[in-house]
């Protein structure tokens, strides 16, 4: 795939390829996410969320590295007061990716460490190359993950496994990451982007509003108890009955059989 960015920035930009948006990290050699890159990430995520052409999103760091995380030199120079102010800004950049109301997949090659791993955790799915390495090594710096790692990782792989990884700061390879549920698919390194694009293209002509509703119900439900989660599901489920896609989907099923409906995202 040849990238021709429509949202340009020295560190992060958004490319729209058909109906798939690719958020590209581009800060060689390690795609370190300094404060400027964090701001650019939030902008790219917000553009992907609101661009009606985009029906699914790939987050990609390139053929050799996803992201080695935050700029440690920049963070080392920050005072307690400065980080108290910046922590919310940091989380907001990653939250913007998690909040994209469309299917999102992280395409991971090489290291995805610290903030890089936390960024991968914001996606709905993770596809990694066979040589990928993932981890949250912040404890080795005397801190903890601060861009969602302590919250998203245990929700994904369970609290005991998450604590072991965060307490030790160790890195896991692709095979172990797949075994513990940290990634969903392992492919040869040179097939990572193509595999992620295939994952995303499944949703190019899908029911965008239903996909948004499903993501909302799952993510919001995980943040609360079962009764509240069921109430969320009930609300978004009923809301879809006011959409053209619901009419098209059900009428198409009745007249032509399953899987033949044409959706407009309305």
> Is 115 a known active-site residue?
yes
End-to-end CA distance of the chain: 30
Catalytic residue among 11, 56, 70, 217: 70
Tokens 């997949």 appear where? 105
> Is 256 a known active-site residue?
no
Catalytic residue among 106, 118, 146, 217: 118
- 244-256 vs 208-222: helix axis angle to the nearest 10? 110
> Is 138 a known active-site residue?
yes
Catalytic residue among 123, 138, 177, 208: 138
Nearest Cα neighbor of 193 from 97, 69, 98, 61 is 61
Residue 117 and residue 69 in contact, taking contact as beta carbons nearer than 8 Å: yes
> Is 118 a known active-site residue?
yes
CA dist., res. 118 & res. 199, Å (int): 21
Nearest Cα neighbor of 196 from 123, 134, 94, 115 is 123
Catalytic residue among 21, 110, 115, 148: 115
* Alpha carbon separation from 177 to 156, 169, 194, 265 (Å, rounded): 11, 14, 20, 35
Catalytic residues: 70, 115, 118, 138
């Amino acid at each position: 795939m040849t990238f021709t960015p429509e949202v340009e920035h020295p560190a992060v930009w958004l490319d729209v390829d058909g109906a798939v948006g690719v958020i590209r990290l581009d800060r060689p050699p390690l795609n370190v996410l300094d404060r400027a890159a964090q701001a650019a990430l939030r902008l790219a995520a917000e553009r992907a969320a609101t661009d009606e052409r985009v029906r699914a999103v790939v987050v990609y760091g390139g053929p050799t590295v996803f992201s080695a995380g935050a700029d440690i030199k920049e963070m080392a120079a920050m005072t307690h007061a400065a980080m108290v102010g910046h922590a919310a800004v940091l989380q907001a950049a990653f939250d913007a990716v998690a909040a994209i109301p469309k299917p999102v997949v992280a395409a991971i090659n090489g290291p995805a460490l610290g903030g890089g791993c936390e960024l991968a955790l914001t996606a709905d799915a993770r596809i990694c190359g066979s040589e990928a390495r993932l981890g949250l090594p912040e404890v080795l710096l005397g801190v903890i993950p601060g861009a969602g790692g302590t919250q998203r990782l245990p929700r994904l792989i369970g609290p005991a496994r998450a604590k072991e990884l965060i307490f030790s700061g160790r890195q896991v390879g692709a095979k172990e990451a797949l075994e513990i549920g940290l990634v969903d698919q392992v492919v040869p390194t040179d097939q990572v982007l193509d595999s992620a694009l295939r994952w995303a293209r499944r949703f190019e002509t899908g029911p965008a509003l239903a996909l948004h509703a499903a993501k909302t119900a799952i993510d919001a439900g995980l943040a609360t108890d079962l009764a509240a989660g069921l109430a969320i599901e009930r609300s978004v489920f009923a809301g879809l009955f006011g959409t053209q896609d619901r009419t098209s989907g059900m009428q198409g099923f009745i007249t032509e059989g399953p899987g033949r409906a044409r959706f407009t995202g309305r």
